[in-house]
Structure 1
């Protein structure tokens, strides 16, 4: 794991109570992006030095990632990145797609004119960001688009469940998928059209398709990274 891949300066993440969460999020992003590979050992002292922080938040971050299934703890050897298969990635997006689809269907029945205007404005801003190549803004507007729909569903517990699943794929990761910005923009148009018609079934289908497609783009990206080249079944095992 190269220094450029993992350096998190104190300036970048700051010193705050959630420091271990920040470290976990960055490592999770690198794992899901294929920059840190299954079977690779994550050394506490090395990570602490590269991040410019103490060992304690790094250990807490790795324990958190262990509870989420991203890393494993091997006796006398330390933390190692857990195996990750194509099916694992598909499963993550399958769960996310189903929950997001249900929230979108519910929002179709409760969507107000004001919320539709807000969604249209976000979509317009996202289109401008795509055309200008501002991937950071594309991701920001994409997050705003989904958040607006989820809030309109008035289903707090379901939205919380979606957030728990969605965190496995950090927002910053999507911008590195070459076809994602334009694909997401086109998918949003279909979702928005269904919401304007107040059609729950069409809205559900459009959102599910959108999320599943994002998963397919991530799998293609990981294949280009060579994550599963050595395993015909697409399951990279730790040595």
Structure 2
């Protein structure tokens, strides 16, 4: 199997439920980035040995992915990776764009000037990280940028639904691919926050998220693993 290990946090978590969630996230990431291609069989005992964990949390993590439509259980063969379709990516990012746009709309009038300045600082650091090709920093700062907006919206239920949608998106996409979010899209979001323009903020965020889906589609297309 792929030599990449599950997150170091998986070895430190204190409960089986958390560990199964780590396994679930790891396998989903491998599928969404094309490392576990369609048709591949994942056997519980093999993956458990590879990750250095017991079979129970692995089985639970794989069953969760089965329920989400990423895997199919086939008797005596194991869990089979199902094909990712273009419509799947459209659906995932369409929902994410709707939720993120609404959070941006609300945040535009609720961010304090201190928070706007913090958003600008993160944006500036992101520009530097992209120019330096520092994928780890880009991933972290991009998350910080969106987290600040989402939390400032003060809409916990929408943020919770967005978190569910985000669970289907590769967590380390920028870090592992070197494909970075466009600066001009993020700049437009920042300017909308500075001018306290809710509709501009929502529109800019929607464009940004939908474009991210297009980037992921192209990435998977280039690998030849995205179905129609």
TM-score (norm 1): 0.88
- Kindly indicate whether the alpha-carbon contact (under 8 Å) linking 1:21 and 1:61 is maintained by their aligned counterparts in 2: yes
SS in 1 for 2:69: coil
Q: Structure 1 residue 59 and structure 2 residue 63: aligned?
A: no
Query: Which of 186, 189, 203 is residue 187 of structure 2 equivalent to?
Result: 189
> Partners in 2 of 1:140 and 1:179 — Cα distance?
14
Q: Structure 1 residue 14 and structure 2 residue 11: aligned?
A: yes
Match of 1:91 in 2: 91
Match of 2:165 in 1: 165
Deviation string 1:49-72 (CA, Å, 9 cap, x unpaired) is 111121111111101111222112
> Partners in 1 of 2:162 and 2:104 — Cα distance?
12
- Kindly indicate whether the alpha-carbon contact (under 8 Å) linking 2:133 and 2:178 is maintained by their aligned counterparts in 1: no
SS in 2 for 1:20: helix
Match of 1:3 in 2: 2
Counting matched residue pairs gives 225
Match of 2:223 in 1: 225
**1:141 Cα deviation from its structure 2 partner:** 0.7
> Any stretches of 5+ residues in structure 2 without a counterpart?
none
**1:197 Cα deviation from its structure 2 partner:** 1.0
- Over the aligned positions, Cα root-mean-square deviation in angstroms equals 1.6
Between stretches 57-66 and 207-216, larger displacement belongs to: 57-66
Q: Structure 1 residue 202 and structure 2 residue 200: aligned?
A: yes
- Kindly indicate whether the alpha-carbon contact (under 8 Å) linking 1:108 and 1:200 is maintained by their aligned counterparts in 2: yes
> Partners in 2 of 1:12 and 1:3 — Cα distance?
19
- Kindly indicate whether the alpha-carbon contact (under 8 Å) linking 2:135 and 2:174 is maintained by their aligned counterparts in 1: no
TM-score (norm 2): 0.92
Match of 2:50 in 1: 50
SS in 2 for 1:79: strand
- Kindly indicate whether the alpha-carbon contact (under 8 Å) linking 2:72 and 2:79 is maintained by their aligned counterparts in 1: yes
> Partners in 1 of 2:72 and 2:214 — Cα distance?
26
- Kindly indicate whether the alpha-carbon contact (under 8 Å) linking 1:8 and 1:50 is maintained by their aligned counterparts in 2: no
Between stretches 126-135 and 156-165, larger displacement belongs to: 126-135
> Partners in 2 of 1:3 and 1:73 — Cα distance?
21
**1:178 Cα deviation from its structure 2 partner:** 4.1
SS in 2 for 1:73: strand
- After the TM superposition, list the runs of 4 or more consecutive aligned residues in structure 1 that deviate by more than 2 angstroms: 6-9, 74-78, 174-181
> Any stretches of 5+ residues in structure 1 without a counterpart?
229-233
Between stretches 167-176 and 191-200, larger displacement belongs to: 167-176
> Partners in 1 of 2:195 and 2:128 — Cα distance?
25
> Partners in 2 of 1:55 and 1:94 — Cα distance?
35
- Kindly indicate whether the alpha-carbon contact (under 8 Å) linking 2:83 and 2:225 is maintained by their aligned counterparts in 1: no
